[in-house]
């Protein structure tokens, strides 16, 4: 029955990219007028699934049935490439292409009728006017304006050429056009990435009454909660349906996860016990066949995975190579204005070593502008200097576009952090949830969130000790936000971050900056403390004193000299590395043994969350050991070469 009334039905589909399975035997029936939130971690295949529905990709197995004559609409990043000289209103209005055609025809006919008002012409005219009305021709202009203005354009802007607007604003026009085309199934891939809060709220309201089915991909749970009544989750090659909004999904998911966690722990115990038996009896001739059959059984066993939330932990310490002095950066008498709009007026501030600053505040006050000024990529009046031995690194949305599409992930990081070993790089990639062969994926094929993660890993890794981050949690799923939070907590350097994500700020900042009366203000504490302080301040209605301090004269950054290399030096060095590597291999072997023993302890088996963490640590040590052994062999070969 469900099958019959579905507008689109995916039946047992399997889809893969060059051997990597994204969906296996997955099914999903999409019904009329559903409001669906499509969710899942970065890279699980949400955008891909929408393309599968569009028919852009061929599935390996299963079938897809679409209702006859169904009209599909798909809002995605590709639309960024659209260009035209036409006004934004006309671009959006082109959604009514048929009505526009009738409008032209009617005008022509009206001219003819002025002189030739034959019955035939009058009849034709009235038919066309009827068609025009049916197609919504009389409301199209009004609807278009309403939509564009709802999405943040002023009336005066509607006649300006499309190509005068920035990428984010053009995307809003494309979104308006798509909605006006009124597809039966409207699919929106992360529409809120291009919108600010008032537009997001407006869009929610607008879409609530949309006559048709909506599927929206979003990592913004508040947006989802208000708009959708069904959550479809993509995870572990499957599509799972939850009949409620995001809050419902979270509750339901918690219960399902607990069951899965129990199954996982039980199975892991079983696996290890079997493995021990195999190891013990493999060498004994009389028992070898028993061991073999057990081995086969293990191979065939359908493995339960640990629930993903429990699996996200960062074990990497983000050490910094060069230690900076006390002063990281000083801002003296900084002023900035755009035309009449003043952002800062003679403002002072200092960033000190160890500062983890969140620059917060409402949209439009100029937070990103200030960050860009501090990063020296935006003109200003006054003086901004950086301190001795400070190596800065800047992260913003456009970093995603500056990734080299032909590089693999490893190559991209190696290129930007040449001093790091492949091991270190893979370990950082692991922290950012890229493991196994995945690290050899080309940047070109990465999903939005995956690209953001690589760009962030690059920023953190690239031998810096001072980060400037603009909205780093955009594109990221909750798990990656978690990871970034932990990475920043472990980071030994200093940073300043602009973000709207309150939970993220709460967990990553030890100082709060905000803009008030064109001055940068500072509170030396966490977000929660700042909030309390602000509340008190408001109650007392006391003005805040300026807390800017004069800055000491910064010293110059001194470039380090590289020692010269020759064969003998390299040989000596390689031998040292070899010895060190040998010790590390021994250490890792020991660590692996210790880890195995820990996993066998009863108390650890009982504490399920700990058990998952231990299992992960164990897998990590195993991977590290394998990598170290490879490095060991490489160094050995190099010594042979150098000695020959």
Instruction: Give contact residues for ligand ATP (rule: CB under 6 A).
Output: 17-18, 22, 40, 42-48, 441, 445-450, 477
| Alpha carbons within 13 A on the beta-carbon side of 339 | 1
Please choose which of ligand ATP, Mg ion, none residue 42 contacts, taking the beta carbon within 5 to 8 angstroms, the exact cut-off set by kind: ligand ATP
Min dist. Cβ of residue 446 to ligand ATP (A): 5
Site string for Mg ion, 399-438 (x = CB under 5 A): ----------------------------------------
Q: CA separation (Å) from 372 to 70, 137, 265, 469?
A: 47, 46, 48, 10
Please choose which of Mg ion, ligand ATP, none residue 366 contacts, taking the beta carbon within 5 to 8 angstroms, the exact cut-off set by kind: none
Please choose which of Mg ion, ligand ATP, none residue 446 contacts, taking the beta carbon within 5 to 8 angstroms, the exact cut-off set by kind: ligand ATP
d(CA 149, CA 202): 10
Min dist. Cβ of residue 216 to ligand ATP (A): 13
Residues 433-472 that bind Mg ion (CB under 5 A): 447-448
- The answer to the question of residue 47 lying near Mg ion (CB under 5 A) is yes
Please choose which of Mg ion, ligand ATP, none residue 40 contacts, taking the beta carbon within 5 to 8 angstroms, the exact cut-off set by kind: ligand ATP
DSSP code, position 382: E
Decide if 196 contacts 167 (C-beta within 8 A).
Answer: no
Q: Which is nearer to Mg ion, 387 or 448 (CB)?
A: 448
- The answer to the question of residue 218 lying near Mg ion (CB under 5 A) is no
Min dist. Cβ of residue 447 to Mg ion (A): 5
Please choose which of ligand ATP, Mg ion, none residue 441 contacts, taking the beta carbon within 5 to 8 angstroms, the exact cut-off set by kind: ligand ATP
CA neighbor of 256 nearest in space, from 13, 12, 264: 264
* φ, ψ of residue 55 in degrees (nearest 5): 90, 15
Q: Which is nearer to ligand ATP, 434 or 514 (CB)?
A: 434
Q: Collect all residues with Cβ–Cβ distance below 8 Å to 98 and sequence separation of at least 6.
A: 135
Min dist. Cβ of residue 264 to ligand ATP (A): 23
- The answer to the question of residue 76 lying near Mg ion (CB under 5 A) is no
Number of residues that bind Mg ion (CB under 5 A): 3
Please choose which of ligand ATP, Mg ion, none residue 73 contacts, taking the beta carbon within 5 to 8 angstroms, the exact cut-off set by kind: none
In the three-class reduction of DSSP (H, G, I as helix; E, B as strand; rest coil), residue 47 is classed as helix
- What sign for the dihedral angle of Cα 371, 373, 377, 383? negative
d(CA 409, CA 451): 9
End-to-end CA distance of the chain: 76
Burial 277-298 (b: 16+ CB within 10 A, else e): ebeebeeeeeeeeebeebeeee
Give the nearest residue (CB) to Mg ion.
47
Q: Which is nearer to ligand ATP, 470 or 477 (CB)?
A: 477
DSSP per position, 189-227 = ESGGGG--HHHHHHHHHHHHT-SSEEEEE-S-HHHHHHH
Q: Is 211 exposed, middle or buried (0-12, 13-18, 19+ CB in 10 A)?
A: exposed
Please choose which of ligand ATP, Mg ion, none residue 387 contacts, taking the beta carbon within 5 to 8 angstroms, the exact cut-off set by kind: none
Q: Which is nearer to ligand ATP, 148 or 215 (CB)?
A: 215
Min dist. Cβ of residue 448 to Mg ion (A): 5
Min dist. Cβ of residue 219 to ligand ATP (A): 7
Q: Which is nearer to ligand ATP, 151 or 446 (CB)?
A: 446
Min dist. Cβ of residue 56 to ligand ATP (A): 11
Min dist. Cβ of residue 54 to ligand ATP (A): 13
| Alpha carbons within 13 A on the beta-carbon side of 24 | 6
Q: What secondary structure, in 3-state letters, does 116-127 show?
A: CCCHHHHHHHHH
Give the nearest residue (CB) to ligand ATP.
449
Q: Which stretch binds Mg ion (CB under 5 A): 44-52, 76-84, 414-422, 596-604?
A: 44-52
CA neighbor of 466 nearest in space, from 548, 373, 403, 389: 389
Please choose which of ligand ATP, Mg ion, none residue 44 contacts, taking the beta carbon within 5 to 8 angstroms, the exact cut-off set by kind: ligand ATP
In the three-class reduction of DSSP (H, G, I as helix; E, B as strand; rest coil), residue 27 is classed as strand
Min dist. Cβ of residue 48 to Mg ion (A): 8
- What sign for the dihedral angle of Cα 228, 234, 239, 242? negative
Instruction: Give me the residues that bind Mg ion (CB under 5 A), please.
Output: 47, 447-448
């Amino acid at each position: 029955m469900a099958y019959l009334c579905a507008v689109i039905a995916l039946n047992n589909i399997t889809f893969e990219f060059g051997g990597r399975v994204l969906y296996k035997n997955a099914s999903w029936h999409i019904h009329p007028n559903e409001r669906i939130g499509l969710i899942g971690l970065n890279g699980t295949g949400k955008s891909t699934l929408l393309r599968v529905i569009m028919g852009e990709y061929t599935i390996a197995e299963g079938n897809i049935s679409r209702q006859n004559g169904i009209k599909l609409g798909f809002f995605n990043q590709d639309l960024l490439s659209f260009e035209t000289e036409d006004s934004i209103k006309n671009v959006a209005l082109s959604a009514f292409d048929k009505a526009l055609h009738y409008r032209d025809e009617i005008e022509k006919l009206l001219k003819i009728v002025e002189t030739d008002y034959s019955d035939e012409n009058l009849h034709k005219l009235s038919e066309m006017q009827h068609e025009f009305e049916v197609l919504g021709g009389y409301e199209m202009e009004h609807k278009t304006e309403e939509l564009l203005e709802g999405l943040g354009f002023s009336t005066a802007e509607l006649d300006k050429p499309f190509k005068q607007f920035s990428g984010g604003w053009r995307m809003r026009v494309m979104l308006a056009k798509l909605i006006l085309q009124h597809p039966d199934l409207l699919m929106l891939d992360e529409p809120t990435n291009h919108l600010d809060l008032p537009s997001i709220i407006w869009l929610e309201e607008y879409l609530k009454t949309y006559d048709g089915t909506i599927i929206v991909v979003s990592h913004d749970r508040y947006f989802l909660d208000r708009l959708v009544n069904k959550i479809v989750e993509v995870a572990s090659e499957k599509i799972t349906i939850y009949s409620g909004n995001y809050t419902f999904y979270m509750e339901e998911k918690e219960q399902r996860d607990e069951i899965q966690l129990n199954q996982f722990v039980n199975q892991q115990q079983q696996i290890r016990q079997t493995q021990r038996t195999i190891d013990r009896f493999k060498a004994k001739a009389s028992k070898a066949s028993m061991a073999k059959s057990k081995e086969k059984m293990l191979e065939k066993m359908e493995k339960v995975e640990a629930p993903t939330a429990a699996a996200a932990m960062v074990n990497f310490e983000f050490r910094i190579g060069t230690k900076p002095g006390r002063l990281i950066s000083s801002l003296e008498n900084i002023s900035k204005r755009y035309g009449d709009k003043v952002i800062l007026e003679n403002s002072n501030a200092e960033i000190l070593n160890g500062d983890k600053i969140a620059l917060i505040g409402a949209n439009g006050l100029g937070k990103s502008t200030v960050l860009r000024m501090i990063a020296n990529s935006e003109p200003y009046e006054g003086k901004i200097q950086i301190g001795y031995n400070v190596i800065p690194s800047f992260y913003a949305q456009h970093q995603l576009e500056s990734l080299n599409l032909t590089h693999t992930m490893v190559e991209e990081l190696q290129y930007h952090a040449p001093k790091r070993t492949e091991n270190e790089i893979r370990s950082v990639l692991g922290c950012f949830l890229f493991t196994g062969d995945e690290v050899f994926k080309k940047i070109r094929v990465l999903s939005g969130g995956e690209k953001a993660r690589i760009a962030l890993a690059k920023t953190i890794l690239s031998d810096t000790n001072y980060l400037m981050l603009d909205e780093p949690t955009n594109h990221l799923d909750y798990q990656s936000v978690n990871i970034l939070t932990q990475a920043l907590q472990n980071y030994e350097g200093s940073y300043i971050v602009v973000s709207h994500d309150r939970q993220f700020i709460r967990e990553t900042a030890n100082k709060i900056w905000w803009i008030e009366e064109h001055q940068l203000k500072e509170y030396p504490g966490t977000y929660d403390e700042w909030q309390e302080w602000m509340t008190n301040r408001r109650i007392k209605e006391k003005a805040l004193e300026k807390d800017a301090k004069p800055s000491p004269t910064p010293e110059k950054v001194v470039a380090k000299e590289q020692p010269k290399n020759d064969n003998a030096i390299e040989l000596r060095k390689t031998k040292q590395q070899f010895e060190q590597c040998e010790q590390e291999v021994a250490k890792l072997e020991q660590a692996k043994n210790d880890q195995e023993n820990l996993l066998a302890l009863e108390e650890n088996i009982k504490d399920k969350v700990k058990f998952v963490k231990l299992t992960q640590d164990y897998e990590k040590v195993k991977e590290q050991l394998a990598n170290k052994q490879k490095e060991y062999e490489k160094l050995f070969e190099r010594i042979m070469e150098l000695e020959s």
